[in-house]
Structure 1
Amino acid sequence: MNIAIFSVTEKGRQLSERAAEFLGGEHKVSRYCFHKHTDDNAAVFWNMGSMVGRLFKRSDAFIFVCACGIAVRAVAPLLGTKADDPAVIVMDDSGRFVIPVLSGHIGGANRLAEVLADALGNTAVITTATDVGGQFSPDSFAVANGLIITDLAAAKEIAAEVLDDEKVGFSTEYRHGGLPDELTEFGICRTGIYVGTETDVKPFDVTLRLVPRNIVLGIGCKKGTSAEAVETAVSRALAEAGIDAERVREVATIDLKAQEEGLLGFCGRREIELRTYTPEELMAVNGDFDSSEFVRETTGADNVCERSAVLCSGGKLVLRKTAFDGVTVAAAEAPVYLDFERNVL
Structure 2
Amino acid sequence: MIGILAFTDTGRALAAKVEAALTAGSSAEPVDFFRGDRGTAREFVEEHFREYDRFLFIGAAGICVRLIAPCIQKKDRDPAVVVMDELGQFVIPILSGHIGGGNRFARELAALTGAQPVITTATDLHGKFAADVWAAEGGCRVLNTDAIRHVSGAVLRGERIGLWRGDFPLEGELPPELADVRTEEDAGQYECGVSVSLSGEPEPFAHTLKVVPRIVTLGIGCRRGTPEQSLERFAEQFLEEHHIHLRAVRQIATIELKKEEAALTSFCRRHGVPLRIFSARELMETEGVFHHSDFVEKITGADNICERSCVRAAEGRLLIPRTAEDGITMAAAVEDWKCRF
Per the alignment, residue 160 of structure 2 pairs with 167
Q: In the aligned structure 2, how far is the partner of 1:44 from the partner of 1:12?
A: 17
Per the alignment, residue 28 of structure 2 pairs with 26
2:212–2:247 Cα contact (<8 Å) kept = no
Deviation at 1:317, TM superposition (A): 3.0
1:99 corresponds, among 92, 116, 127, to 92
**Counterpart secondary structure, 2:14:** helix
2:80 corresponds, among 77, 80, 87, to 87
Q: Does 1:180 align with 2:175?
A: yes
Give the length in aligned residue pairs: 330
Deviation by residue 1:197-228 (Cα, 9 ceiling, x = unmatched): 45553333322221222210001233454655
Q: Does 1:44 align with 2:38?
A: yes
TM-score (norm 2): 0.88
Per the alignment, residue 312 of structure 1 pairs with 313
Q: After superposing the two structures, state which structure 1 stretch, 51-60 or 252-261, moved more.
A: 252-261
1:88–1:102 Cα contact (<8 Å) kept = yes
**Counterpart secondary structure, 2:288:** coil
Over the aligned positions, Cα root-mean-square deviation in angstroms equals 2.3
Q: After superposing the two structures, state which structure 1 stretch, 300-309 or 142-151, moved more.
A: 142-151
Amino acid at match of 1:118: A
Amino acid at match of 1:181: P
| Residue ranges of structure 1 left out of the alignment (5+ in a row) | 35-42, 341-345
Query: For residues 174 and 74 of structure 1, do their structure 2 counterparts lie closer, same or farther at Cα, with a shift above 3 Å needed?
Result: same
Deviation at 1:326, TM superposition (A): 3.0
Query: For residues 48 and 286 of structure 1, do their structure 2 counterparts lie closer, same or farther at Cα, with a shift above 3 Å needed?
Result: closer
1:211–1:247 Cα contact (<8 Å) kept = yes
Deviation by residue 1:250-279 (Cα, 9 ceiling, x = unmatched): 111223334445433332222211222333
Q: In the aligned structure 2, how far is the partner of 1:313 from the partner of 1:55?
A: 29
Q: In the aligned structure 2, how far is the partner of 1:119 from the partner of 1:296?
A: 52
Identity of aligned residues (%): 39
Q: In the aligned structure 2, how far is the partner of 1:254 from the partner of 1:292?
A: 15
Q: Does 1:77 align with 2:31?
A: no
Deviation by residue 1:167-216 (Cα, 9 ceiling, x = unmatched): 11222121122211211226632222121245553333322221222210
| Residue ranges of structure 2 left out of the alignment (5+ in a row) | none
Q: After superposing the two structures, state which structure 1 stretch, 313-322 or 2-11, moved more.
A: 313-322
Query: For residues 150 and 232 of structure 1, do their structure 2 counterparts lie closer, same or farther at Cα, with a shift above 3 Å needed?
Result: closer
Per the alignment, residue 12 of structure 1 pairs with 11
1:127-206 pair list within 5 angstroms: 127-172=120-165, 173-177=167-171, 178-185=173-180, 188-197=189-198, 201-206=202-207
Deviation by residue 1:90-129 (Cα, 9 ceiling, x = unmatched): 0111111111011100111111111111122222111111
Q: In the aligned structure 1, how far is the partner of 2:18 from the partner of 2:273?
A: 26
Deviation at 1:309, TM superposition (A): 1.1
Moved over 6 A (4+): none
